[in-house]
Structure 1
Amino acid sequence: MCGIVAAISGQNIVPVLLEGLRKLEYRGYDSAGLAVLNGANGTQLRRLRAVGRVAELATQADEQQLDAAIGIAHTRWATHGVPSERNAHPHISDGLAVVHNGIIENFEPLRARLTDLGYTFTSETDTEVIAHLVRHHLKSTPDLVDAVRATCGELIGAYAIAIVSEGEDSRIIVARHGSPLVLGQSDTGNYAASDTSALLQVTRNMIYLEDGDMAELTRGAMRIMRLDGTPVERPVQVSQLSADAVELGSYRHYMQKEIFEQPAALSNTLEMLAQARSITPNLFGTEADSVFRSVRRVLVLACGTSYHAGMVARYWLEDIAGIECSVEIASEYRYRKPVADPATLVVTISQSGETADTLAALKFAKTLGMTHTLAVCNVPESAIVRESSLRFITRAGPEIGVASTKAYTTQLAALALLTLAMAKTRGTLSVAQEEKYLGALRHLPGAVTRVLELEPQIQAWAERFAMKHHALFLGRGQHYPIALEGALKLKEISYIHAEAYPAGELKHGPLALVDRDMPVIAIAPNDALIEKLKSNIQEVRARGGELYVIADAGTEMVEGEGVHILNMPENYGLLSPVLHVVPLQLLAYHAALVKGTDVDKPRNLAKSVTVE
């Protein structure tokens, strides 16, 4: 979603702001802008805004030879108000500029009050309310920190904000509630951003603000406090990411790069198994063993692709660990009255660890007395990880493409480990089974590498798919969630309407859609349901539907007129969902290439969903 970069230094920070915005482009945005203070004693506020890409903003900055030592910048993803220059951030009130991530839920009454007080609004955004409200509080308090604190006290909703003001060239004020904000320290200055990747160009020393924190940044220091003014200290953490990790390199798109990084991402995530002779619960925390023994059920909370990972885990946990598992869409969970059981392990899954709906659902579950919590996440410093008592950090590395790929497969690997750890603790995993699964996990990166070698055949499929307007994905058992994930990927980046169904539900309605213009993708693992799936496939073929089947070794599926078979290199049992999703990722990617869509930044979507 929206991105923030702020910098104060003894040097020109305009290139830092622009490069930071470029690193945040993956989050999704429709406009960009910056505001800097220059002139004698920081007396002049200059603002540039552009609809479209950061490159357009950079061109303006070059043409005006913009040079400043303090400033804020932003990429906007439209919520209140259409994409336009007047709605782009920063927003200004009499020499004071603000950038904002999040949504102010009470902006309408605040806007009406400020209008009555004589403030003129030039945009449709909720953010402009913040600028005028800070300016209004400066009339009763001369200190910018106090004015921002008073303003935050009136805001309802989620926000991360950064503020500069004319005559205040020695400091930037930032605050957060509900939306992430990280500070960066270096010898040349101090910085803030909504994402670590934006600051790797200048520092790896990061401070992650907590909800309800605000900070004053000067060239040589940072002062962090709570919104009530109480000073606090937050630890400096050295980011393990490198600037190179977020570079495109030789790949055409980040999504392509991340699909092909999956063997390495899985290898890194499962590194602890290289020499291990057994699976231990302490992979999830020192208290995991006692928690796993005491809980009676598992509740998974997640959104989007992570929700699909949780759906696969339900099959694994119930089948192998023998524990009841339910999977909830996080954005729905806290808006009903669930029956809470304190003996529940609440598992949250999130790539960023800042997904607003998932974080809110986690907090809600804890208020219901479900305090055994475990996060599966790719970002160790994130809010969801900090909110959870147990955690497993996947090591996918930064994922830039909006459509998740390597984050998803590493989540599945982590959930497989969780399943085996719980099964062992609960006495449902024999020594022989443990050895078998350990071997399969160690081999998983190599198995994915072999699947990636099927890309040329998938490209040929994509040429046919790109001409279609609809597609139907079918799967059974633990592969039904993989069908859902395949349909989601195709929708996200190729804009082809796609639906997924359990194959057994075909004749309960979806079969009515099948004709020669509706391609049907079937996932065919060599498992106990394969014969039933073959019957479902015959139903499609009998109605003239064109079939594309991703088939395990040993399924004896035969190509023919209207039936296309992609033969997988091997049958992988428990972990076969990890392998079967890879061809579906490639199919979506190559269909999007044929159609010419923006693969890494699909329309209307954002990478990190940090507001409801």
Structure 2
Amino acid sequence: MCGIVGGIAERNISDILIEGLKRLEYRGYDSAGLALINNKNILRERRVGKVINLEEAAKEQHLNGHIGIAHTRWATHGKPTETNAHPHISGKVAVVHNGIIENYVEIKSELEQLGYIFVSQTDSEVVAHLIAEAMKTHPTLFNAVQSIVPRLKGAFALGIVHADHPEDLIAVREGSPLVIGVGIGEHFISSDQLALLPITNRFIYLEEGDIAHLTRTSVEIFKNHGKERIERPTKELDATVSHASKGEYKHFMLKEIYEQPEAIQQTIAQALNDNALRDDFLSDAVTSFQNIDQIQIIACGTSYHAGMIAKYWAEQLIDLPCQVEIASEFRYRSPVIIDRTLYVCISQSGETADTLAALRDTQKRAKDKGLNISTMAICNVPTSSMVRETDHHLLTLAGPEIGVASTKAFTTQLSALMLLLLKIGQVKKRLAESQLTEIVASLWHCPKVILDTLQHNAEILRLSELFVEKQHCLFLGRGTNYPIALEGALKLKEISYIHAEGYAAGELKHGPLALVDNEMPVVILAPKDDMLDKLKSNMEEVQARGGELFVFADEHSGIANKERQHVVDIPTVNPWLAPIIYSIPVQLLSYHVAVLRGTDVDQPRNLAKSVTVE
């Protein structure tokens, strides 16, 4: 969601902070700001809209300073206005904040009685006033912050500076990610290490409840809200991931669609050797897999759709019960925690707030009841909270995904989930060797099939022109392609703003058929599998009501172009892996429709890449 960058150095850091914000633009935001300390004064600029607006304002004002904080805001409390933008100031205190302060109304009332005047509609401003009040009775900025953090309820990350303490940068992590960038004679903070990679590749990852005190020459970290000094390890990242560029592509989303063959190749290569699973693949989890009787998948959004497909695979391929739930529902409905269950959390960032909270709650409740469960993260970020806090993890080697609408992260999640289930099936002896060999061979072939599917891009572009004036759309699929119908609808609605719904095709006559008329485009996913004949019957139902069909069909399906039925032939693929391949045309369709409608494809309105708040 929001992005934090801060630093303390011997050099002017204004440009460093703004460059960091630019690298966080992919997360989604609606305003930006920065505050620098210069001669014991706070110099602040804030602007609505893109970071470039802030950059121009900072240059006009010739802002400079050796210590400062900056922020991109995604509105939660209060409209996207300059007044609501961060940093927030109270006297000589400046604060940037990611997350939500759940009890801010109570704190705000108390502070107003003390005479503090609130100028924004945000929950974040209470933090600045609380620290300003605490400075009246505490000798250092660190002590003041340490005293107020226990009062805050919710999930938050904070960056704090004070005009009278120009040698101190304070950082707080409680439920929202924050990382320290380690330099020589300078140190930085950010909500994402990608913002800092141009200036350092050495990082310290703060844990829950950590408060860090940074100076130019030192980093001190205290856990339990500042009560106990602790050493956190410094890790080096590969500098090659530092730069994300669109290259020859118009948008990151299109670039990432075309990166899927390579991303899947890298993801499966960590697990496969010729036509078999590598002996060392998930070797640390073998005992856990031997002791499970079922799987519970927890995820949000696109990751939830990946989990839905994994449920089909688990039950049909290795005969293992599998449940899938949306994390925001799972964490609040007090689900029964079942012994001998593998809890799989899926998240691109590994910081998704609801999924992370569901994981932690499940771990705590299982421990309290003495239950034998295992936890696993399917994640794209090896340094994320989810990877660190689960028993086991399987990385999706997709590389940085900048576009808000997930593409390569989704298909690599599917690839990783299939690898996971093959390993479990092998360990539990629920998978015939011939079937394992067949699927592994098909996985190796998958990148080539995607490349062949991408050859239909121009054809899909032509079809997308027929969607530009539409206001509604249905996506239909059966079996493992029902979740792809959901995913296709999600993609179309989130970047083109066309209302779209995905349905299991067998449900058509149970309600959605009432929506079908001459103005309703209906997208059909038609791989050559056991459900194809039934799907053809569903297509007849749509055409009988005047609906216009857009069919992504197996090249040997027997489905042909005719009046109001547009067919794109998709290369034949092993039915188990059809969901991966059929993701590609719906991604391209959504992308081209959005471009033709003139929307902001990479940063759609109201959405953020990493959803680190509820």
Fold match (TM-score > 0.5): yes
* 1:147 alignment partner AA: A
* Residue 375 of structure 1: how far off its partner (Å): 0.5
Query: Matched residues in 2 for 1:243 and 1:452: separation?
Result: 25
Match among 101, 114, 117 for residue 117 of structure 1: 114
SS of 2:144's partner is helix
Alignment map for 1:313-328 (pairs within 5 Å): 313-328=310-325
Is 1:62 matched up with 2:59? yes
Contact 2:252 2:402 in 1 (8 A): yes
**Matching of residues 180-199 of structure 1 within 5 Å:** 180-199=177-196
**1:499-540, Cα deviation, whole Å (9 max, x unpaired):** 011000000110000011000001001000100000000000
- Quick one: distance in 2 between partners of 1:186 and 1:271? 34
Quote the offset at 1:368 in angstroms. Answer: 3.0
For 2:5, the equivalent position in structure 1 comes to 5
Match of 2:416 among 401, 414, 417: 414
Among 146, 161, 164, the residue aligned to 1:164? 161
1:478-498 superposed Cα distances (whole Å, 9 cap, x missing partner): 100000000000001000000
Distance (Å, rounded) in 2 between the aligned partners of 1:208 and 1:513: 50
Contact 1:281–1:422 (8 Å) recurs in 2: no
Structure 2, unpaired ranges of 5+: none
State yes or no: 1:217 paired with 2:219: no
Aligned partner letter, 2:36: V
**What is the identity, as a one-letter code, of the residue corresponding to 2:38?**
N
1:283 maps to which of 271, 281, 284: 281
Which residue identity is paired with 2:481?
H
Segments of 5+ residues of structure 1 without an aligned counterpart are none
After superposition, residues 287-366 of structure 1 pair within 5 angstroms as 288-366=285-363
Deviation at 1:284, TM superposition (A): 2.9
Q: Equivalent pairs: percent with the same residue?
A: 51
SS in 2 for 1:270: helix
Q: Tell me how large the CA RMSD over aligned residues is.
A: 1.2
Task: Return closer, same or farther for 1:342/1:549 CA change in 2, 3 Å cut-off.
Answer: same
Q: Give the conservation status (yes or no) of the 8 Å contact 1:2–1:77.
A: yes
Deviation at 1:195, TM superposition (A): 0.5
TM-aligned CA deviation for residue 274 of structure 1:
5.5
The equivalent position to 2:498 in structure 1, one of 496, 499, 502, is: 496
Q: Secondary structure at the match of 2:277?
A: coil
Aligned equivalent of 2:238? 240
Post-superposition shift, 1:167?
A: 1.6
Q: Which amino acid aligns with 1:271?
A: A
Matched position secondary structure for 2:500: strand
Q: Is the 8 A contact 2:194 2:242 kept in 1?
A: no
Residue pairs, 1:435-474, within 5 angstroms: 435-474=437-476
- Larger mean Cα displacement after TM superposition, 265-274 or 188-197: 265-274
91, 99, 121: which one pairs with 2:88?
91
**Which residue of the other structure, out of 107, 126, 129, is the alignment partner of 2:126?**
129
Shift of 1:285: 4.9
Equivalent-residue separation in structure 2 for 1:575 and 1:277 (angstroms): 16
Deviation at 1:276?
4.2
Alpha-carbon distance in 1 for matches of 2:397, 2:217: 34
Task: State how far apart, in whole Å, the 2-side matches of 1:199 and 1:492 are.
Answer: 29
Q: List per-residue Cα deviations over 1:292-335 (Å, max 9, x = no partner).
A: 11111100000000000000000001011110000000000022
Aligned-pair distance for 1:366? 1.6
* Counterpart secondary structure, 2:230: coil
- How far, CA to CA, are the matches of 2:580 and 2:106 in structure 1? 49
* Partner-residue secondary structure (3-state), 2:547: coil
Query: 8 Å contact 1:285–1:391 — kept in the other structure?
Result: no
- Structure 1-normalised TM-score? 0.98
SS at match of 1:340: coil
- Work out the CA distance in 1 between the residues paired with 2:280 and 2:328: 30
Q: How far apart, in 2, do the equivalents of 1:221 and 1:454 lie?
A: 55
What displacement does 1:437 show? 1.3
CA distance in 1, matches of 2:66, 2:304: 44
Runs of 4+ in 1 over 6 A off after TM superposition: none
Number of the residue aligned with 2:265: 267
Q: Deviations over 1:75-95 (max 9, x none)?
A: 001111111111100000111
Contact 1:280 1:421 in 2 (8 A): no
Question: How far is the alpha carbon of 1:281 from its aligned partner?
Answer: 7.5
Q: Which amino acid aligns with 1:328?
A: E
Which residue identity lines up with residue 410 of structure 2 in the other structure? Y
CA distance in 2, matches of 1:273, 1:212: 35
SS at match of 1:345: strand
Deviation at 1:49, TM superposition (A): 0.5
Question: Which position in structure 2 is the counterpart of 1:154?
Answer: 151
Whether the 8 Å contact between 2:449 and 2:573 is mirrored in structure 1 is no
Q: 1:207 to 1:452 in 2, by over 3 A?
A: same
Which residue matches 2:43? 46
TM-fit CA distance, 1:249: 1.8
Partner of 2:404: 402
Per the TM alignment, residue 568 of structure 1 is displaced from its structure 2 partner at its CA by 0.6
Whether the 8 Å CA contact 2:327–2:358 is kept in 1: the answer is: yes
